[in-house]
Structure 1
């Protein structure tokens, strides 16, 4: 047989099976952790058959062990229990099947389960899956609510009844799942992904009634916690009762203590909202009424002012004032003109009194030589000189005959 297969020299199926058997044989003895999905004790047979399932994946293996091995390690073993087996993988070449042959079986106790959960909790917390800053707020009134719970369970009844009691028109999309046992985790993850992909679902509720720590183990599974963390839709965890706190409670956006509490958190109370709306309307009406009353009082105050109540009164008052000012201005101008006229008359009288014409009017005359020089002394003219004699009215021409003897 060639080392490599070719189209011309392919390996038969038996060769493939033999090689798989050789590869698996090199694996040796290993410790395997899983959940018992099925336990078969055949009467009269010394061999016990178990189906060991991975709680986080849809994968199972058949485990064979002697009855003595089972009774020594887990005499009270039941389906759904968590066990650790020391086994050697075996490949049955003729049937082409893989199984585990166990020589030791240990049932995982409650203390060890809690220790594992605490270790997983620290791991998820360190990765930021519990960070409050990444948690999303629930919508005030979701358009549609996705519900993941057991079919016809008390948790389903509590959520639906209490939610519709608070808001009768609420719409639900219920996806029934297995909430306990080896198939619970894949079933819940599938429902979660289905609802998260639905654009009409605004919030998802995972609900389950109370139970023991072992019963609630699927809701502390790492795969489920990571699936909840990856959801884009807000998730409410309503698992068990108040003391129950599976790990999915820490990852979910909102943790409800009970399914009934989830109903109270997901929708508002219609009666409370109607009451709050009534109170808001009352406050709004009072505010509007008070505002209208204040504005009415302000308008009444403005309207009662004289400028609006008696608009002509202001015009009449201003008319009286303008008339008085006009009369005062007329009197003042008249007085000024009268005083100016008197001053002018006085000035004119003084001017006339000082004027040479007034002197001439009293009988005096002004004698001027031909050159216009005013004669003030007789010596300034000689006989025969022509003189001009200016009177108050008119002028005379004269000729000097000679000087007059004696004093003037």
Structure 2
């Protein structure tokens, strides 16, 4: 870790400040060290963040000197700043980032340790590049260039695919090969351009405008396939980003892998994680769909055959039933059952008639036995008198009218 500052003018004591007879206490030593450190003016320092911790309202950054040779312990310094100021940074430093900071040295008495209050933290090296990209990203986002409503849908089957990539690059090979594998009839119009360096952004911008002017081109792919931050920086160029935003043809950004995030990814209509992914986005999987269609057709054919076999089996079972093989069979069965029922009914009726006839005969005999004729006949028989014929009038009944007439005359 290095620092730039003016040498501190710390006065040396003229006489010894301690002796064996009057030694300094640790508190006095700390006070003296703190006074000398406070006398050191503010400075700009640089270091690599090896740890970042947030405690309470402060963020603590542990810095180390990255220029110390391997095998030696680098000096470390703890710097702290207000958490709100840390959150307001365009890019928050993380472990491994190199920073430049404006610092005021202080001394922690409890730990006897030098620390620094950081009031201005900036990323250095690649971090500075990221910081500039984030500032531009936020400005363009405020303009609405990344609004989802601006995104144009990709065509389902583009007649002509525009490709901007490096000549002979792996990205070009991946896009062309994977697209042909998915859709053998795909056609390309390829524009080669530098994919890094100072000529990259102008060349890619010109290629986009050229392909956008071609009415036959239905979609444009910008492919590179990852790289270092400095190599991908041209794809965050403001002129390039604005050219993509103004393009009327849908654009797929296939610049970086998942960890990479150039601004082109934000403004493009689709972002592909790799050139292979870009091929999957712009080309329908005709070959894969044909395989799936063939498999589905085979499954459907087998299902229909199974259904027909089951239906034929059920039909055969139904046709084999007696009701269909001999239509009179059921009628005959019902006729036999009806005759049996009629026979049982006749027999039951005859039994009922016979039973009731016997009862009636018995009742008639009992009634005759209780009639007056039967009683008088039984009396005459017991007295020896001849039994009157049933048709002869009874003496009693013959005399009854005369007795009645005599009673009427007397009266």
TM-score (norm 2): 0.48
Structure 1 or 2, whichever has the larger Rg, is: 1
**The structure with more helix, counted as a fraction of residues:** 2
TM-score (norm 1): 0.48
